[in-house]
Chain A
């Protein structure tokens, strides 16, 4: 059966090896699901959250994973949308399938974790039914759900391309016809993602009584809205590329042309560079304009484990540095530098999400109030790790049984 499912003409590792690998992942997932179930049954007192840290690891992980999942919509946007005008972007077609899968797992995974985060899951649907239009969270809930659906629709045709399934005529037809309209979904997705990536930024930016997170308005949103979008598209594709690279390493095959990585490097370099310029400008204004107005010095925002090192790491080491590498042809030519830069880029954006979520509330606002430290418990780690394991599992399965990489066959002729 296994053989019959693997795309013909492609080599995959022997079933036992793959089975073992799957088993490990399933184990991790099981562990996380158990922990999640405990949280649902025994309530959130199992976590490290408290009245000071209303948000914690769950939210941070979600924000990060969703930002990185942005590769899906942005690659799609470039490939289906812009490549008409910039033929060079056609190259991305070679990796677009993977991007979709990555997006799919990131978003579905994030939604699952989000369910644990709320104290009354049974009423979760109030978010749709009794929505408060002013709340950024409402925007997030709606967009993420819709986009998750879009991703499912984008993922289906890939599944239908499976050798066995495509034997069924009707399904094959369905698959092809869906492919033809994919552009529309990709662009819808782009639109939705644009909004929720932004509104995720809004979540922090609108906290006008939290000087650490609050930013002033641009159009109708605080500009964190746009910073989050930019940072997401500046890291999402890099994440996809990195995963692709890991697949190559693990499978020992060439899956896409080096040129694809180079192109993504160029794009990310440009975006990250742009993001950094704006982020630095934002930080400067916040530190020397906004905060002082509220009576804060920059130093007031950094303490103990939440030290200034976070700012340096986020903007310097994981921001400006990778941007420079990616912008220099030499940097892109060296695999080490290129993928190193991708990694830093991803870490940087993750730090940003952590800082905007946790440090933003760790910093005391009332002068007679004090700093607090947040330590997540295993009940927070486990579901998060399980979510990652789930992502890896789906990607593994997709790679093994679906023709994700159109050029794989040619690239691996021996």
Chain B
């Protein structure tokens, strides 16, 4: 292999090959990889927030007396209205027959599930000029619950808030950013 006499065309060709690899990598990294990384999981049954608009968020997502937050309601909450079917949607049918009748909790998937090592309490955040939608998606017009996109490596939902976001807001609001404020 004698490198001494390299033709100009060779150089150009080299450039082409280089770009080939370069652009290929960019596409892989920016387009393909993210889609590979996140799985798409459907909720066990559809839940239409619109259909439940007659009552406000608190009537289903509320605080317990000890300051903890109920998050996604458990079955007994559903039972309050859906002892028997109210309408005739498929998902309500499954709710009544499969879950309520058999007393099985609906295995809802959370969109903003925090890992065990995180302590998050809604209590301090409520009434700090924060609305539900400041952190959660707006469900007021939501007929159909979206798919849950889970990171295949970490298991985090794509909409799980990461620490940097918490830190920023805490910094802005002058709230403590000490580790144990949010970790357990």
Q: How far is the CA of A169 from the CA of B2 in the complex (A)?
A: 10
1/0 per residue, CB under 8 A from B, across A146-181: the answer is: 000000000000000000000011100000000000
B3: chain A residues at CB < 8 Å are 168-170
Chain A, Cβ-Cβ closest to B2: A167
1/0 per residue, CB under 8 A from B, across A355-397: the answer is: 0000000000000000000000000000000000000000000
**Restricting to B1-47, which residues have a CB under 8 Å from any CB of A?**
3-4
How many pairs of A and B residues are in contact by the CB < 8 Å rule? 4
Interface residue count on the B side (C-beta < 8 Å): 2
Shortest C-beta distance, B44 to chain A (Å), equals 33
Chain A residues touching B, majority SS: helix
Chain A, Cβ-Cβ closest to B3: A168
The size class of the interface chain A forms with chain B is: under 10
Q: How far is the CA of A170 from the CA of B2 in the complex (A)?
A: 12
Chain B, Cβ-Cβ closest to A170: B3
Shortest C-beta distance, A268 to chain B (Å), equals 45
Chain B, Cβ-Cβ closest to A171: B3
Shortest C-beta distance, A162 to chain B (Å), equals 16
Shortest C-beta distance, A351 to chain B (Å), equals 39
A170: chain B residues at CB < 8 Å are 3
Q: How far is the CA of A169 from the CA of B3 in the complex (A)?
A: 8
Shortest C-beta distance, B153 to chain A (Å), equals 11
Shortest C-beta distance, B8 to chain A (Å), equals 16
**Restricting to A243-295, which residues have a CB under 8 Å from any CB of B?**
none
Q: How far is the CA of A169 from the CA of B1 in the complex (A)?
A: 12
Q: How far is the CA of A169 from the CA of B5 in the complex (A)?
A: 11
1/0 per residue, CB under 8 A from B, across A111-131: the answer is: 000000000000000000000
A169: chain B residues at CB < 8 Å are 3-4
Chain B, Cβ-Cβ closest to A168: B3
Shortest C-beta distance, A276 to chain B (Å), equals 45
Shortest C-beta distance, B89 to chain A (Å), equals 46
Shortest C-beta distance, A310 to chain B (Å), equals 39
1/0 per residue, CB under 8 A from B, across A168-198: the answer is: 1110000000000000000000000000000
B4: chain A residues at CB < 8 Å are 169
A168: chain B residues at CB < 8 Å are 3
Q: How far is the CA of A130 from the CA of B4 in the complex (A)?
A: 49
Q: How far is the CA of A338 from the CA of B133 in the complex (A)?
A: 77
Chain A, Cβ-Cβ closest to B1: A168
Shortest C-beta distance, A266 to chain B (Å), equals 47
Q: How far is the CA of A170 from the CA of B4 in the complex (A)?
A: 9
Q: How far is the CA of A168 from the CA of B3 in the complex (A)?
A: 7
Shortest C-beta distance, A290 to chain B (Å), equals 33
Shortest C-beta distance, B136 to chain A (Å), equals 28
Q: How far is the CA of A168 from the CA of B4 in the complex (A)?
A: 8
Shortest C-beta distance, A145 to chain B (Å), equals 24
Q: How far is the CA of A227 from the CA of B3 in the complex (A)?
A: 52
Q: How far is the CA of A170 from the CA of B3 in the complex (A)?
A: 9
Q: How far is the CA of A169 from the CA of B4 in the complex (A)?
A: 8
Shortest C-beta distance, A1 to chain B (Å), equals 14
Chain A, Cβ-Cβ closest to B4: A169
Shortest C-beta distance, A131 to chain B (Å), equals 15
**Restricting to B33-89, which residues have a CB under 8 Å from any CB of A?**
none
Shortest C-beta distance, B14 to chain A (Å), equals 13
Shortest C-beta distance, B124 to chain A (Å), equals 25
Q: How far is the CA of A354 from the CA of B3 in the complex (A)?
A: 52
Q: How far is the CA of A119 from the CA of B3 in the complex (A)?
A: 48
1/0 per residue, CB under 8 A from B, across A11-48: the answer is: 00000000000000000000000000000000000000
**Restricting to B121-158, which residues have a CB under 8 Å from any CB of A?**
none
Shortest C-beta distance, B6 to chain A (Å), equals 10
Shortest C-beta distance, A163 to chain B (Å), equals 16
Shortest C-beta distance, A371 to chain B (Å), equals 34
Shortest C-beta distance, B165 to chain A (Å), equals 16
Q: How far is the CA of A370 from the CA of B120 in the complex (A)?
A: 42
Shortest C-beta distance, A165 to chain B (Å), equals 12
Shortest C-beta distance, B11 to chain A (Å), equals 13
Q: How far is the CA of A168 from the CA of B2 in the complex (A)?
A: 8
Shortest C-beta distance, B155 to chain A (Å), equals 15
Q: How far is the CA of A336 from the CA of B3 in the complex (A)?
A: 51
1/0 per residue, CB under 8 A from B, across A32-72: the answer is: 00000000000000000000000000000000000000000
Shortest C-beta distance, A169 to chain B (Å), equals 7
Shortest C-beta distance, B177 to chain A (Å), equals 13
Shortest C-beta distance, A126 to chain B (Å), equals 12
Q: How far is the CA of A309 from the CA of B184 in the complex (A)?
A: 47
A-B pairs, 4 with minimum CB distance? A168-B3, A169-B3, A169-B4, A170-B3
4 contacts between A and B (CB under 8 A): A168-B3, A169-B3, A169-B4, A170-B3
